[in-house]
Amino acid sequence: MALKMKRTVYLKKKTLAEARTIVSTKLAHLIHLGTETIPVIHSLGRVTAEPIFAKISSPSFHCAAMDGIAVKAESTYGVTEESPKSLLINKEAFFVNTGNPIPQGMDAVIMIEDVHLVDSQLAEIRNAAYPWQHVRAIGEDMIATEMVFPENHKITAYDLGALLACGHQEVKVKRKPRVLIIPTGSELVEPEQTNLNQFNSRSGTIPSGIIESNSYVLSGLIWEDGGDPIRHPIVEDDPFKIKETILSNYAGVDLILIIAGSSAGSEDYTRSIIEESGEVFVHGISMMPGKPTLIGRFKDRPVIGIPGYPVSAIISYETLVRPILYQSLHLTRTERPKIKVIPTRKIPSKLGTEEFLRVKVGKVGEKFFATPLPRGSGVITSLTKADGIIRIPALSEGLDENEEIEIELLKPVEEIFNTVVLAGSHDLSLDILANLLGRFYPPIYFSSHPVGSLGGILAIKNGICHMAGVHLLDPETGEYNFPYIRNYLKGIDLKVIHLVYREQGLIVQKQNPKKIKRLEDLLRKDITFINRQKGSGTRILLDHTLKTLSLDSTQIQGYENEEYTHMALASGIASGRADVGLGILPAAQAMNLDFIPVAKERYDLVIPSIYFEDEKIRKVLEAIRSDDFKETVQRMGGYDISRTGEELFNCGIRNVDCGTEK
Amino acid sequence: MALKMKRTVYLKKKTLAEARTIVSTKLAHLIHLGTETIPVIHSLGRVTAEPIFAKISSPSFHCAAMDGIAVKAESTYGVTEESPKSLLINKEAFFVNTGNPIPQGMDAVIMIEDVHLVDSQLAEIRNAAYPWQHVRAIGEDMIATEMVFPENHKITAYDLGALLACGHQEVKVKRKPRVLIIPTGSELVEPEQTNLNQFNSRSGTIPSGIIESNSYVLSGLIWEDGGDPIRHPIVEDDPFKIKETILSNYAGVDLILIIAGSSAGSEDYTRSIIEESGEVFVHGISMMPGKPTLIGRFKDRPVIGIPGYPVSAIISYETLVRPILYQSLHLTRTERPKIKVIPTRKIPSKLGTEEFLRVKVGKVGEKFFATPLPRGSGVITSLTKADGIIRIPALSEGLDENEEIEIELLKPVEEIFNTVVLAGSHDLSLDILANLLGRFYPPIYFSSHPVGSLGGILAIKNGICHMAGVHLLDPETGEYNFPYIRNYLKGIDLKVIHLVYREQGLIVQKQNPKKIKRLEDLLRKDITFINRQKGSGTRILLDHTLKTLSLDSTQIQGYENEEYTHMALASGIASGRADVGLGILPAAQAMNLDFIPVAKERYDLVIPSIYFEDEKIRKVLEAIRSDDFKETVQRMGGYDISRTGEELFNCGIRNVDCGTEK
């Protein structure tokens, strides 16, 4: 691929507010949806194109509101318990069931419970009826010719009933906005062209190519927003092909989204194509993610250039495309529910840029806490895992910890109420636990924050998690976890629940090509190490062991490369970035790597006692103690589940039985 | 149709809470959905049937995060502005675009902006790169084998991106719950069998038959709740046919809804059918609407007997069926958003019954006010027009006015913020106004409460509406509206905007068969009158005119029959319930009735001045003064729009120009 060095430069960047005004004033009016007439029974969620008037009244005749006899009220005047009256059936009284027409001349219904059948000819009543008693009069619900719905009304499931009942079988609605999605990029491959059988899934690598998924995410969002997504196959980075694609498709659609190519790189052709055949209103928006967004028109069709990174694409869609769709359908855009949260740490943000920060939200005690997820715009899981989005204004330099701030919720608040928050070290058995918790009903959700064992201990201290996952070796005593609890969590009434014993060891390439055998090998010049972050149990274990063996960590190549999870560490080795790292067996197995055992360690959950009153914490205990959990963990290998679920005691904490191991 | 007199009697009624427990414990576990494997791109909204693990890492190779040159970081160490370095292209430096793989041996990217191309062989750099600079490492987003989603996870549009990116093209999801809907009732007709050409749409009547619409409303709700609705055609009230229908369909579905037939009437067979082939757990729930609900099983299939009245059917579905669907899909049920409102009047409710009261909600000033809609369970428009539902607990005897209470919102709160609330007399031109207001963007909604002219004046006094629609003749002076304003709204700074002049007259049957010519005819013994409610402008006009003519209202047959709108009054005449009533020409025309003019009256809007600061009130004025409004109103007939939109002045109110007519 030849590199062309001419490059576009951003126009003067616009703020998001400016860009939205441009979208609303210069783009939305280019869309003329037109109308279509469809069966009422298929009109759920569609928008009326004209006011709807009742064709017939509902009910369309006087009808019985109860099962009973229809009578003329006048003929019952004076009737009482003491002076009952017999009415001639089919002359003075007519049997009717709910919904039946009231026979000519009758104007009231007496409930069947209040009728005594003397014989097949006579019905005795003991109470007078008043006119229109238990009768649904014509038009009680809707009167023929009255306006039932205005135009621009979104049809609900309830509305289907009203439309049918007042005589409509068809309804004229706005055509759905047709949105053409053109994914561009020579580096992209269609999902179905990714032949996963050709490579070893355990190695986690495929030869090359980025799977094109943005167009499907946008299709889903467009569909949810009432539009009609039309996905075009991938177009390579070739201005002629991109332009040809637009030219041969633009006439049949209402809005064009071009994914990627709106940045300022050498292969970003969207701007010049739009300038040639239309107008560019905005190129570059001071928001993050989503900066390389372009707004323009191609001839008379609105165009949005959507950034290629998945999170940017979504933010760009939600802030700019969604409003156009709502405006074209003439619907009020609703905001996401909001709650106040407290950030668990200080979050700096770039001045002059509006940031959409994805966060996990946990309710611990009475407060909602927000923990930032990775901010990279390439990390789609920062959105799929997110519970909410904090919008940091352009004029803010970020958020202080403990400073309450509003977030937009991405998930129902009910799910957050039912979420158990764990901070600390990550272990693969926690994924199994999370899955089991989801099987309870109502489901319990599990939110795990990989901040390392010491981070977990501090999170307990700060009251921002329900439990901490820790495997902290005390170098002085060789004892696990309790020394740290004694040191950092003095005065907090808590319980320690044992989760698993697991093996830590050196994770190396398959077949161990560099013949690494023990920790001493880490100092070899031909070996690159990959480390875990400071404060993690694994790092403490490493540093302790190095010290015991009098090995100098500064001599280890790559000692400063830190990863936050076992899996990330294993992945670094699988990809060839490093030769070796310290981690757990299941991570090595998952990535098809070799493993050299170093130590067996105890992984416990530290849980403040107050949370044991909480139903969802009790369910966590129930799940951990289930055979299902233990068996699944054991099948993974590298675990000892012989004491899983036991409460451990330590004399420093409680003056009861000492369960501490020596 | 022969009436069978054997009747079922309700079992001891259950509370809604009891019924829900039964549904959750005895019904939900009867549903076994099974799984199906579908393409990821069609999986939006579906629920995972197993945990999903990444098949490949994302990215699946180290790739460039920027357009530029890939280098080995080590080779750039020491480079500065002062000591730049030239790298050999395709040997020490490789051009890469965002997303391209990093060539073997390279580990960093230098942005193209920071590269100076010396010639086609050499690229000069002026800054050192650090390892992994602008490189997205393998697994930055997802690492092969890690759990990406647990089972029981509802797939969002964002999730499609994650699933595709980690190598999934198919996903195993729970099968949608199949819900069989059987509408029963001999009085029902299929919507498409209602041949509306056979009758005069203006008369608003059809020969007989209730259009079956409940099944379509339920289908819509089931679809929204993630189920698969299967509608069966109408089955008549015949226990053998109903049972046969269930027998030939139950095996292929997960849940059976039988609409109607679960009450205690003579033709209510659901209970005996279920008892014969299964078990009835609940028959009768102490809630309103929705009492005649039945919960049971037919063999091993859960059955809900749904009441036949539309509002009852919906409440029964939402309180009992929806939870089963959510439980079967293992999803958390979310509640509707709630706000605090103040009832505009006292609302009594039956002790011992949980009531679901439908209300209109208006935000006037800083407060939200709730006005009850008709409570009849046959009135579907009480739900389609509702903004919210107040749940009045079984142990409450109702709500006091001014007592704040929580409601569940049926509409987004944004729509309520954009709603103009009018109380007072109803006029058909208000429907035209409502429709025009919806054309602004964002749309303005219009909520009209037909409480009569005097009711409107009092609503202004109580601060519960933005404007009142009034046509109040002062018998003393012959002057319209201002005397009432002076009398009731002393001290309130307000404006009077003239809407229309309109003709009031006697509405009579087509061709005027009873030869009614003037008000004196109302006293004739062969004539039945239909009246408007006390406090309505039309009623005041009638009573004033009767008094002027010295006619005794007690001599008028039907004088006590009150309707709340012109259309309801005209409908009463069209249906033959009465011969004559006083109303406006458009109502007569709409119902194809004859009209005898009696008086021309002035219909004004009374609006407190403070609301003129409100954008949406200004839009109301703009719409009223538009040609579109005036022309559409004039086309209806019976209106004089010569002064429409003018502000009227009265010396009693403002010491300015006197616009009062004599």
Distance of alpha carbon A381 from alpha carbon A310, whole angstroms: 10
Q: What is the mean pLDDT of residues A613-619?
A: 96
Report CB contact under 8 Å: B434, A150: yes
Q: What is the DSSP string of A537-569?
A: HHHHHHHHHHHHTT--GGGSTTTT-EESSHHHH
Rounded mean pLDDT of B407-418?
A: 95
Closest by CA position to A309, among listed B603, B235, B18, B141 = B141
> What is the reported pLDDT for A5?
40
SS3 content of chain A, % helix, strand, coil (to 5): 30, 30, 45
ipTM metric:
0.92
pLDDT at B62: 86
Structure confidence by residue, pLDDT tens digits, A583-602: 998 889 888 899 999 999 99
Q: Is residue B71 over pLDDT 50?
A: yes
The per-residue pLDDT of chain A, averaged, comes to 91
pLDDT at B607 exceeding the cut of 50: yes
Closest chain B residue to A429, measured at CA? B147
Kindly state the average pLDDT of the residues B122-150.
91
* Residue of higher predicted confidence among B565 and A286: A286
CB contact under 8 A, B310 and A148: no
**Rounded CA gap, A261 and A246, in Å?**
14
Considering CB atoms only, which of A142, A159, A217 is closest to B161? A217
| B220 contact partners, CB below 8 Å, separation of at least 6 | A44, A156, A157, A160, B229
Mean pLDDT in residue range A346-361: 94
The answer to whether the Cβ–Cβ distance between B161 and A337 falls below 8 Å is no
Is it the case that residue B200 has pLDDT exceeding 70? no
Nearest beta carbon to residue B380 from set A40, A165, A378: A165
Q: How far is CA B270 from CA B14, B187, B284, B311, B378, in A?
A: 18, 17, 12, 20, 20
A221 Cα to chain B: minimum distance (Å): 6
The pLDDT value given to residue A653:
40
Indicate the DSSP class of residue B441.
Answer: S
Taking only the tens place, the pLDDT of each residue in B254-276 is 999 999 987 766 667 889 999 99
- pLDDT(B662) > 50: no
Residue B630, CA distances (Å) to B371, B421, B621 in order = 30, 21, 12
Contacts of B380 in chain A (CB under 8 A): 58, 141, 158, 161-162, 165
Distance between CA atoms of A143 and B593, rounded to whole angstroms?
14
* List of domains in chain B: 16-32+177-329 (3.40.980.10), 35-58+141-174 (3.90.105.10), 63-136 (2.170.190.11), 338-453 (2.40.340.10), 455-648 (3.40.190.10)
| Residues A380-397 pLDDT 10s | 999 999 999 999 999 999
The residue among B144, B533, B208 whose CA lies nearest residue A593 is B144
Q: Please list every residue in chain B whose beta carbon sits closer than 8 Å to the beta carbon of residue A169.
A: 191-192, 194
Percent of chain A with pLDDT over 70: 94
Say if residue A59 is preceded by a cis peptide, omega within 30 of 0: yes
Report the pLDDT value the prediction gives residue B199, as an integer from 0 to 100: 47
Is B335 or B315 the better-scoring residue by pLDDT?
B315
Set of chain B residues whose Cβ sits within 8 Å of the Cβ of A153: 438
Confidence of residue B638 (pLDDT cuts 50, 70, 90): confident
Residue at B72: amino acid letter: K
Sign of CA dihedral B251, B252, B253, B259: negative
Q: Using alpha carbons only, give the angle B162, B163, B168 rounded to the nearest 5 degrees.
A: 145
Is residue B208 over pLDDT 60? yes
Q: What is the DSSP letter of B129?
A: -
Q: Which residues pair with A357 in a beta bridge?
A: A390
Look at B41 and A216 and tell me if their CB atoms are within 8 Å.
yes
Q: How far is A464 from chain B (nearest CA, A)?
A: 24
Q: What are phi and psi of A195, to 5 degrees?
A: -85, 100
Instruction: Spell out which residues of chain B touch residue A571, defining contact as CB-CB under 8 Å.
Output: 57, 138-139, 143-144
Residue of B nearest to A189 (CA): B165
- Residue B404 has a CB neighbour count (10 Å cut-off) of 13
Confidence at residue B478, expressed as pLDDT on a 0 to 100 scale? 85
**A99·B591 Cβ contact <8 A:** no
Among A439, A482, A489, smallest CA distance to A460 is for: A489
φ and ψ at residue B295, rounded to 5 degrees: -125, 125
Residue B355 pLDDT greater than 90, yes or no = yes
Distance from CA of A46 to the nearest CA of B (A): 12
Taking residues B549-558, report their average pLDDT.
Answer: 94
Does residue B6 carry a pLDDT above 80?
A: no
Tokens in use for B594? Answer: 């004859």
DSSP string of A97-165, one letter each residue: -TTPBPPTT--EEEEGGGEEE-SSSEEEE-S---TTTTEE-TTSSB-TTSEEE-TTPBPPHHHHHHHHH
User: Mind listing the pLDDT tens digit for each residue in B442-491?
Assistant: 999 999 998 999 999 999 999 999 999 999 999 888 899 999 999 999 99
Contact B443 A331 (CB under 8 A): yes
If we measure between CA atoms, which residue out of A629, A607, A597, A639 comes closest to residue A500? A639
Q: What is the mean pLDDT of residues A542-549?
A: 93
pLDDT (0 to 100) of residue A266:
64
**Whether B380 and A185 lie within 8 Å, measured CB to CB:** no
End-to-end CA distance of chain B: 63
**Whether the Cβ atoms of residue B534 and residue B563 lie closer than 8 Å to each other:** no
Two tokens, residue A477: 């005593």
CA gap B220, A168 in Å, rounded: 17
Q: Give the nearest chain A residue to B57 (CA atoms).
A: A204
Q: Cα distance from B431 to chain A (closest Cα, Å)?
A: 7
Q: Nearest by CB to B267, which of A97, A101, A337? A: A97
CB-CB: which of B98, B161, B414 is closest to A216? B161
**For chain A, first and last CA: distance in Å?**
63
Place of tokens 């993050």: A288
Q: What pTM did the predictor assign?
A: 0.92
What confidence tier does A661 reach under pLDDT thresholds 50, 70, 90?
A: very low
Pick from A166, A381, A382 the residue to mutate for testing the B interface (most B CBs within 10 Å). A381
Cα within 13 Å of Cα(A438), Cβ side:
23
3-class SS string, A303-333: EEEECCCHHHHHHHHHHHHHHHHHHHHCCCC
Give the gap in angstroms from C-alpha B661 to the nearest C-alpha of chain A: 32
pLDDT at site B264:
66
Q: In this complex, which of B57, B147, B191 lies closest to A169 when CB atoms are compared?
A: B191
Answer for the pair B585, B595: CB distance below 8 angstroms, yes or no. yes
Counting one residue from chain A and one from chain B, the pairs whose CB atoms sit within 8 A come to 407
* More confident: B180 or A576: B180
Q: How many CB atoms lie within 10 A of CB B119?
A: 8
Give CA–CA dist B76/B92, Å, rounded. 10
Distance of CA B158 to the CA centre of its chain: 28
At position A3, the amino acid (one-letter code) is: L
* Yes or no, beta carbons of B187 and A567 under 8 Å apart: no
d(CA A502, CA A13): 53
> Which is more confident, A280 or A658?
A280
Would the CB atoms of B57 and A204 count as touching at under 8 Å? yes
Mean residue pLDDT of chain B comes to 91
Instruction: State both tokens at A190.
Output: 């269609």
Which percentage of chain B shows pLDDT scores above 70?
94
Q: Please tell me the predicted confidence (pLDDT) of residue B566.
A: 86
Query: Would you say residue A552 has pLDDT above 70?
Result: yes
Q: Is the pLDDT of residue B526 over 50?
A: yes
Closest residue in B to A560 (Cα) is B131
Q: Give the other-Cβ count within 10 Å of B373's Cβ.
A: 20
> Which chain B residues have a beta carbon less than 8 Å from that of A210?
59, 63, 99
The mean per-residue pLDDT over the stretch A554-569 comes to 90
Dihedral of CA atoms A129, A131, A132, A133 in degrees, nearest 10, equals -20
Q: Say which of B3, B58, B152 has its CB closest to residue A439.
A: B152
Chain B: nearest CA to A97, how far in angstroms? 8
Alpha-carbon distance B45 to A224, whole Å?
A: 10
Q: How far is CA B618 from CA A339, B440, B606, B654, in A?
A: 33, 12, 14, 21
What is the rounded CA–CA span in Å between residue B182 and residue B627? 50
- pLDDT tens-digit readout, A465-506: 999 999 999 988 889 999 999 999 999 999 999 999 999 999
Contacts of A54 in chain B (CB under 8 A): 204
The amino acid sitting at B341 is V
Q: Which pLDDT value is given to residue A195? A: 60
pLDDT for B129: 93
| pLDDT tens digits, one per residue of B576-587 | 889 999 999 988
Nearest CB to B224; choose among A146, A157, A208: A157
Q: Report how far residue A207's alpha carbon sits from residue A322's, in angstroms, rounded to the nearest whole number.
A: 36
Is the pLDDT confidence value at B248 over 90?
yes
Mutate to test the interface with A, among B211, B238, B356 (most CBs of A within 10 A): B211
pLDDT in tens, A438-464: 999 999 999 999 899 999 999 999 999
Chain-chain contact of B150 with A117 (C-beta, under 8 angstroms): no
